[in-house]
Chain A
Amino acid sequence: MENNVLNGAELAILINRFEGIARKMTNTLYRTGRSGVLNRARDFSCCIVTADCQLLATADSLPIHVLVGPDMMAQSMKDFHPDLRRGDAFLHNSPYHGSSHAADHVLLIPVIDDSGKHRFTVLTKAHQADCGNAEPTTYMGTAPDVYAEGALIFPAVRVQENYRTIDDMVRMCEMRIRVPEQWKGDFLAMIGSARIGEQEILRLGSEVGWDKLEAFCGQWFDYSEQRMAARLATLPEGVATASSTHDPIPGTPPEGIRINATVTSRPDEGRVTIDLRDNIDALPCGLNLSEACARSACLIALFNSIGGDIPRNAGSFRRVEILLKKNSVAGIPVHPTSCSVSTTNVADRVTHAVALSIAQFGEGFGTAEFGAFIPPSSAVVSGLDPRTGDPFVNQIFLGCTTGAGTPYEDAWLTYLHVGNGGMCFIDSVELDELYQPILVQERRILPDTEGAGRHIGAPSLLVEFSPVGCDIDVAYCSDGRLNPPRGVHGGGVGGGSNQFRRKKDGATEALPAAATVRIHEGEAIISICCGGGGYGSPLARDPHRVLKDVQDGWVSEQRAREVYGVTLDRSGGLDMDATQSARERAGA
């Protein structure tokens, strides 16, 4: 084995090849998926884990999907099926066995070498347009337990043997999932994507040698751990606690769900501990986290805070200890606790509590709060399409801003939500109008809703849409009206969320935070998404950037003057003298 010490060039080439395989899986699925949630919004992820279930390569996947979870799912596949054979494929969506929530179907394929040895596992994970829930939504915020959700749960169930699909499972899904041919198309596309990963790894193994690949993985994890330790050594030493609160919905305490996180930084050891144990027990609603999401949400906050260049894999994760409690709303769920909305709402609050804790280590660390998620502009819409007489169900992605200010830059505008990393796409209005019987009346940035700061948080986006020739059901679970995104280090609060029904007479009425509402013909639904919190004092913001914000209609002249201390002259240019003296007066 002494030959199997790889040098820095070999490491670079092999990680490139593994990442390339994950990217090839991703590109394939994106082009061949059938539902809008896959091929319009790209709400899916592809990754590779080692035979001993350590996360190796994730390409540009959604963080909440892959940081933790693939490892746990691969382990459950091994536990349930000790007899893995080439040609097997498994379907997994059980939040009690490492998956995120029932709507994320995961295809796992063990990569078996010619001698029959299990070498790697490839995973393709995709949010489904429908998963057979009791209501036509993949986010059942108000479901008291998994039985009320209603989705079929697959804890690593074998769905292919010898490269042939086991049709029993397909028929079960077809009997339970709405618009089954759309689901079937996505299922086939997922298998295709995972099989490409399998074949590419088999080719790599025969080219380079399996022992060499195994040695590579060990060394790559060590390298990643070392990079992580070096970076964590730059954090100040200390213990910090912060909280972030999810708005109340049916099934939660009246004050909502307050998530607490404590971060302990030990730079001398190059380690961090994140403690989520000080949180309430699981609730009779769909907001509870799966263990995978609780852990991923912590890691997202940490990686958002330490630069984008540290590899994210089992090696770097060794330096992070995450403490969870069993049967907690943000810990380890116990069946039949519902985790229907596990990837977004409370998970985002966990990320915020951790990020705000890290921010307490000083200016330059942590991030502001991102906006909260699932406004109606990202709802699951369903109904009968009067143009064809056929039923339809799909998640729409008409836009959700929510980016937070960071020590490095202004918010990334189209973030969707923090767990997503801004990776998802936004629907075209024309495509949405073509695919669903809806009309998008309006989609615009709301002025003066940005989280003020040296680096600003995103402004809110308003979207109004209505059914055309029918009624539609709109299912959403919108956090962030009562608890809008907060800034840090002097940064301001970003715009909160809200939603209304516009009635036939034009008047508006408020809608609940989490519901499946029927919007009738002639009515419209108005969705306002959260903006994001600002980072640092707005008085320290570059006045030229404030001027651009005014010109772009994000910030009014009055707000520029009062919040940013920036004065414009008559021609709309910067009045530097007035700005300077205003800022001096304000003590900037």
Chain B
Amino acid sequence: MRFATDTGGTFTDLVIEREGQLHLFKSPTVPSNPVEGVLGAFSVAAEAFGMDREVLLSKGTQFIHGTTHAINAIVTGRVARTALLVSEGHPDILLLREGGREKPFDHTVRYQRAFIPRARTFEVPGRFAAQGNELRPLDESAVIRIVEQLREDKVESVAVSLLWSIIDPGHELRVEQILNERLPGVPVTLSHRLNPSLREYRRTISTAIDASLKPLMDRYIGGLETAMQDAGFSGQVLVLTSQGTMVNADEIRRAPILALNSGPSMAPIAGNYVAAADTTEADTIVFDTGGTTFDVSLVRAGHVPFTHESWLGRPYQSDLTGFPSVDVKSVGAGGGSIAWVDEGGVLHVGPQSAGSVPGPVCYGAGGTEPTVSDAALVLGYIDPDYFLGGRIRLDLPASRRAIAEKVAGPLGLSPEAAALAILDVWTENMVQAIADITVNQGIDPTAASIIGGGGAAGLNAVAIAARLGCPTLLIPEVGAGLSAAGAVVSEVGRGFRRLFVTNSDDFDTAGVRAKLDELRSEAQAFSAQIGAPADATHIDYFVEARYAHQVWEIDVAIKADELEGENAARALCGAFHDAHERIFAFRDENSMVEAIAWRAQIRCKVADTTDLRIASEAAGEAADRHRQAYFAGIGHAEVPVLAFERLPVDVVQTGPAIVESRFTAIVVPPAVTFRRSMSGNLIVQPGAATANNSIKS
């Protein structure tokens, strides 16, 4: 048996893989003690299986854990008292960041001060140049004075990030030695080791974040392992990373930054898996609609693209993580988004959200502003008596009143038309978020399949797909727990990186080979440590390269053995031109190609999961029935409500229809065809849907 958990803001999801089938459970998250929430989910599962929790846990071979503990600690400022050591003359790297601002005329936004305050930032005399020559030697006595100050200041963790340490790490290594001698027991993160990337801000912020997390993540992981052992689990503990992989618990202790934003990074892993079975398009867009956020990620030709620009919070108003991770774009467009009409009569949806407290008007918990969920209720898309399997009864008249008063009245529409308009504007907001990430990654939505996950995805998944022109929409059986399902099929692995600058006109074949060899040994040491057999281990290599004069590198997959001999430069250029054309739609064969960094991504297969199938016990007892629902063009209609689990395989049906499962409702507009596949997924051809219902040409 394998266990995977994903601790979210509201719920802790637990997926248990037993005899090739998945079982999904949800239990409330306990923010003060996340481990308690995890064990709570196991209690729910044990009850469902009719066995003792200890017995259940003792049957597990692997426990895969996704945690928001690290990001929560940053958001609430509970990280370690951390000092930052930087090169002399450059104390404000974390304050200046990389500039940029979101809205030019919004002066209400406060500029965020440095992640590590200036008072705990220290300047280390000594300097290397871009070419790797030492301009000024390290002043060790100055370092010793700094370390004495750190001791006096009772610093709990230290980040060291010196200019050009990526070319020559000598000074950083010596500083580490001095720290270890004089401040034993205080953890240290060195920038060149953690994140050997060009651009001092990105390297420094990731180093600072990592160091600030070390003491608390060390305690957290230790506590988790002990609690799981005490509860009866004796298998392997693996932790999810932002790179869409798992690592063993010790790896997180060494580099806790790996655990940041790991939840959303799992959705495309599951998406890749699901798409492989049921779609023919090369690329896939994956979205996950929760209560407050909407996450989008991508799969490009079977690979999940990375970004070097993950933000801790809002762009430019927070910090980058500076660390390569799965590219996920998050916007505040969940089902709780509030609809409002401005003084000029234009409808807006979000960015404000009713959250879970007070929640939408229909929860009857004090919410007064109409939300997307209220609109869906008014349209009949959600069953007021069967929400979350009937656990909450929704107040339809209250939703209707709120929409009538705050949206329909000002717009001069009926409540139903207003509710439809709310969903339309909501859809457009999501489509724009998807457009941003697909432009940046060079994916054409009209040639990509799209996968919807998360509890609220079904409300407008068909509309999103139609608006983007995606030929195939897929709602996986595991959609409501997409991230936890991704964890089940994810592999153990992580990325390793080396900076090594060369170009196609003067290609340093030997130098590149040496770097690739280093990367290979590093990756192999990683797999040896987790005990993965060689035949289950795979290493992908990438070069981060660009045309001469460009400054943004793109990731280009390479075959290490092709970069040898006389044709090495040509092979590099060929791969680069193709990748550039795929992303930016043009190639410039006359231009020199510059390679900046080299990366190895190791993947070790640790399970034989072949299907992501939900065990049939999840099928509700609710019979197929009918309900009044409202659609553009036809108005009110009696539509069939079909149970997802009981849809016949490969029988094509036509909307209007609502497909319901225990966790979600999928709205299929009139004339749109859908069927359930052999793999259990709902497959929709959205072509017949009108993109923006409100706009009639």
Write the residues of chain A forming the contact surface with B, with a CB cutoff of 8 angstroms: 3, 6-17, 19-20, 23-24, 27-28, 30-36, 39-42, 60, 62-63, 181-182, 185, 188, 192, 207-209, 212, 223-224, 226-227, 230, 303-304, 307-309, 312, 367, 387, 397, 399, 403, 406-414, 416, 421-426, 428-431, 433-435, 439-445, 461, 464, 468, 548, 551-553
A8 with B90: in contact, given A16-B428, A208-B695, A414-B97 (CB under 8 Å)?
A: no
Residues on B with C-beta less than 8 A from A434 are: 130, 198, 501
Cβ of A280 to closest chain B Cβ, rounded Å = 29
Q: Are A445 and B95 in contact (CB under 8 A)?
A: yes
Q: Report how far A63 CA is from B550 CA in the complex, Å.
A: 25
Q: Are A7 and B694 in contact (CB under 8 A)?
A: yes
Q: List 21 A-B contacts (CB under 8 A).
A: A10-B695, A12-B346, A17-B428, A27-B439, A33-B550, A34-B549, A35-B549, A192-B584, A223-B345, A227-B344, A399-B96, A406-B107, A410-B110, A410-B111, A412-B101, A414-B100, A425-B99, A425-B100, A444-B91, A551-B118, A552-B119
Q: Report how far A238 CA is from B692 CA in the complex, Å.
A: 46
A428 with B98: in contact, given A13-B425, A34-B547, A40-B551 (CB under 8 Å)?
A: yes
Extra contacts besides A426-B97, A444-B92 (15): CB < 8 Å: A8-B421, A9-B421, A9-B425, A9-B694, A10-B692, A12-B346, A185-B591, A192-B584, A192-B585, A308-B103, A414-B101, A430-B130, A430-B198, A443-B90, A551-B118
Tell me the chain B residues, 401-428 only, with Cβ under 8 Å from chain A: 410-413, 421-422, 424-425, 428
Residues on B with C-beta less than 8 A from A14 are: 695
Chain B 130-161, CB-CB to A under 8 Å as 1, else 0, gives: 11000100000000000000000000000000
Q: Report how far A416 CA is from B101 CA in the complex, Å.
A: 11
Chain B 170-210, CB-CB to A under 8 Å as 1, else 0, gives: 00000000000000000000000000001111000000000
Cβ of B642 to closest chain A Cβ, rounded Å = 29
Q: Report how far A428 CA is from B204 CA in the complex, Å.
A: 12
Q: Report how far A60 CA is from B105 CA in the complex, Å.
A: 10
B586 within 8 Å of A (CB atoms)? yes
B613 within 8 Å of A (CB atoms)? no
Partner of A8, one of B346, B549, B691: B346
Q: Report how far A207 CA is from B468 CA in the complex, Å.
A: 12
Cβ of A6 to closest chain B Cβ, rounded Å = 8
B392 within 8 Å of A (CB atoms)? no
Q: Which 3 A-B pairs have the closest CB atoms?
A: A421-B104, A308-B106, A9-B421
Q: Using C-beta atoms within 8 Å of the partner chain, give the interface range for chain B.
A: 35 or more
Residues on A with C-beta less than 8 A from B421 are: 7-9
B578 within 8 Å of A (CB atoms)? no
Residues on A with C-beta less than 8 A from B273 are: none
B566 within 8 Å of A (CB atoms)? no
Q: Are B425 and A12 in contact (CB under 8 A)?
A: yes
Q: Are B106 and A223 in contact (CB under 8 A)?
A: no
Q: Report how far A188 CA is from B591 CA in the complex, Å.
A: 13
Residues on B with C-beta less than 8 A from A182 are: 549
Q: Are A12 and B348 in contact (CB under 8 A)?
A: yes
A16 with B429: in contact, given A9-B421, A185-B591, A412-B109 (CB under 8 Å)?
A: yes
Q: Are A397 and B99 in contact (CB under 8 A)?
A: yes
B113 within 8 Å of A (CB atoms)? yes
Q: Report how far A464 CA is from B413 CA in the complex, Å.
A: 62
Tell me the chain B residues, 671-697 only, with Cβ under 8 Å from chain A: 691-692, 694-697
Q: Are A430 and B164 in contact (CB under 8 A)?
A: yes
B117 within 8 Å of A (CB atoms)? yes
Q: Are A16 and B90 in contact (CB under 8 A)?
A: no
Partner of B694, one of A10, A34, A387, A435: A10
Q: Are B119 and A553 in contact (CB under 8 A)?
A: yes
Q: Are A443 and B89 in contact (CB under 8 A)?
A: yes
Q: Are B108 and A409 in contact (CB under 8 A)?
A: yes
Q: Report how far A3 CA is from B696 CA in the complex, Å.
A: 9
Residues on B with C-beta less than 8 A from A6 are: 695
Residues on B with C-beta less than 8 A from A414 are: 96-97, 99-101, 111
Cβ of B431 to closest chain A Cβ, rounded Å = 8
Q: Are A468 and B129 in contact (CB under 8 A)?
A: yes
Cβ of A173 to closest chain B Cβ, rounded Å = 16
Q: Report how far A26 CA is from B104 CA in the complex, Å.
A: 15
Residues on A with C-beta less than 8 A from B432 are: 16, 19-20, 23
B73 within 8 Å of A (CB atoms)? no
A24 with B439: in contact, given A428-B199, A552-B117 (CB under 8 Å)?
A: yes
Q: Report how far A209 CA is from B428 CA in the complex, Å.
A: 18
B74 within 8 Å of A (CB atoms)? no
A444 with B111: in contact, given A32-B586, A430-B163 (CB under 8 Å)?
A: no
B561 within 8 Å of A (CB atoms)? no
Residues on B with C-beta less than 8 A from A442 are: 89-90
Q: Which residue of A lies closest to B113 (CB)?
A: A552
Residues on A with C-beta less than 8 A from B110 are: 409-410
Residues on A with C-beta less than 8 A from B424 are: 9, 13
Partner of B108, one of A8, A41, A308, A424: A308
Q: Report how far A425 CA is from B411 CA in the complex, Å.
A: 40
Residues on B with C-beta less than 8 A from A19 are: 432
Q: Which residue of B lies closest to A58 (CB)?
A: B104
Residues on A with C-beta less than 8 A from B694 are: 7, 9-10, 13
Residue of A7, A11, A212, A421 with most partner-chain B CB within 10 A: A7
Q: Are B695 and A429 in contact (CB under 8 A)?
A: no
A426 with B119: in contact, given A13-B694, A212-B697 (CB under 8 Å)?
A: no
Q: Which residue of A lies closest to B583 (CB)?
A: A31
Cβ of A35 to closest chain B Cβ, rounded Å = 7
Residues on A with C-beta less than 8 A from B95 are: 413, 445, 552
Q: Report how far A431 CA is from B200 CA in the complex, Å.
A: 9
Q: Report how far A230 CA is from B439 CA in the complex, Å.
A: 37
Q: Which residue of A lies closest to B695 (CB)?
A: A10
Partner of A552, one of B114, B200, B341: B114
Q: Are A42 and B584 in contact (CB under 8 A)?
A: no
Cβ of A13 to closest chain B Cβ, rounded Å = 5
Q: Are A423 and B100 in contact (CB under 8 A)?
A: yes
Q: Report how far A209 CA is from B90 CA in the complex, Å.
A: 56
Q: Are A367 and B92 in contact (CB under 8 A)?
A: no
Residues on B with C-beta less than 8 A from A409 are: 107-110
Residues on B with C-beta less than 8 A from A422 are: 99-101, 104
A31 with B584: in contact, given A10-B695, A433-B129, A443-B90 (CB under 8 Å)?
A: yes
B621 within 8 Å of A (CB atoms)? no
Partner of B411, one of A9, A27, A430, A435: A9
Q: Are A303 and B105 in contact (CB under 8 A)?
A: yes
Q: Are B439 and A441 in contact (CB under 8 A)?
A: no
Chain B 436-479, CB-CB to A under 8 Å as 1, else 0, gives: 10011000000000000000000000000000000000000000
Q: Report how far A340 CA is from B200 CA in the complex, Å.
A: 34
Cβ of B622 to closest chain A Cβ, rounded Å = 33
Q: Which residue of B lies closest to A27 (CB)?
A: B439
Q: Report how far A307 CA is from B103 CA in the complex, Å.
A: 11
Q: Report how far A421 CA is from B98 CA in the complex, Å.
A: 15
Q: Which residue of B lies closest to A231 (CB)?
A: B343
Residues on A with C-beta less than 8 A from B586 are: 32, 188, 192
A426 with B98: in contact, given A8-B347, A444-B91 (CB under 8 Å)?
A: yes
Q: Are B341 and A28 in contact (CB under 8 A)?
A: no
Q: Report how far A208 CA is from B467 CA in the complex, Å.
A: 12
B588 within 8 Å of A (CB atoms)? yes
Chain B 338-358, CB-CB to A under 8 Å as 1, else 0, gives: 000111111110000000000
Q: Report how far A445 CA is from B343 CA in the complex, Å.
A: 42
Q: Are B102 and A60 in contact (CB under 8 A)?
A: yes
B435 within 8 Å of A (CB atoms)? yes
Q: Report how far A11 CA is from B695 CA in the complex, Å.
A: 9
Q: Report how far A527 CA is from B113 CA in the complex, Å.
A: 23
Q: Are B92 and A445 in contact (CB under 8 A)?
A: yes
Residues on A with C-beta less than 8 A from B104 are: 60, 62-63, 308, 421-423
Residues on B with C-beta less than 8 A from A185 are: 547, 549-550, 588, 591
Residues on B with C-beta less than 8 A from A441 are: 89
Q: Report how far A413 CA is from B100 CA in the complex, Å.
A: 10
Partner of A428, one of B198, B348, B431, B552: B198
